[in-house]
Amino acid sequence: MVPRMGYISPMTLNRELIDILACPRCKGELKLRADESAFECGACRLAYPIVDDIPNFIIEEAEALG
Ligand SMILES: [Zn+2]
C-alpha cells in the first residue's frame, strides 16, 4: 500500500478503542460481535459492520438486527 499525503490512518481495533466507542445514533454502548465482524447496538437494533478492521459507523449503512 502506498501512503498518500493527508491520509489519516484508519482506526485499528483494540480494547482501549472499543471502550470509548459509542453508537453514533443513540450514543449508547456498543458490543463487539463475537466474530469481530461488526459492532452491535442493542438499543437501536443495528449492527455497524467492520471491514478490513475499520468500523463503519454510517447509520444508513448499518444492518438491522434480528
Ligand atoms: Zn444505538
CATH code for the domain in which residue 36 is found: 2.20.25.10
**Residues with a beta carbon under 5 angstroms from ion ligand 1:** 23, 25-26, 28, 41, 43-44
Q: Are 42 and 26 in contact (CB under 8 A)?
A: no
Q: Would you say residue 11 lies in a domain?
A: no
| pLDDT grade for 66, boundaries at 50, 70 and 90 | confident
Secondary structure class of 33 (helix, strand, coil): coil
- Residue 27 CA to ligand 1 center (angstroms) comes to 6
pLDDT at site 19 = 62
Q: Would you say residue 8 lies in a domain?
A: no
34: domain range? 23-64
Q: Which of 9, 39, 14 is nearest to 25 (CA)?
A: 39
Q: Would you say residue 35 lies in a domain?
A: yes
Q: Are 40 and 33 in contact (CB under 8 A)?
A: yes
Q: Would you say residue 46 lies in a domain?
A: yes
Q: Would you say residue 12 lies in a domain?
A: no
Query: 2-42 pLDDT, tens per residue?
Result: 555 555 455 555 666 666 789 999 999 999 999 999 999 99
How many domains does one find in the chain?
1
Q: Would you say residue 37 lies in a domain?
A: yes
Query: 39-64 pLDDT, tens per residue?
Result: 999 999 999 999 988 889 999 999 99
pLDDT at site 13 = 59
Rounded-to-integer distance, Cα 36 and Cα 48, Å: 11
Single pTM value for the model: 0.71
Secondary structure class of 40 (helix, strand, coil): strand
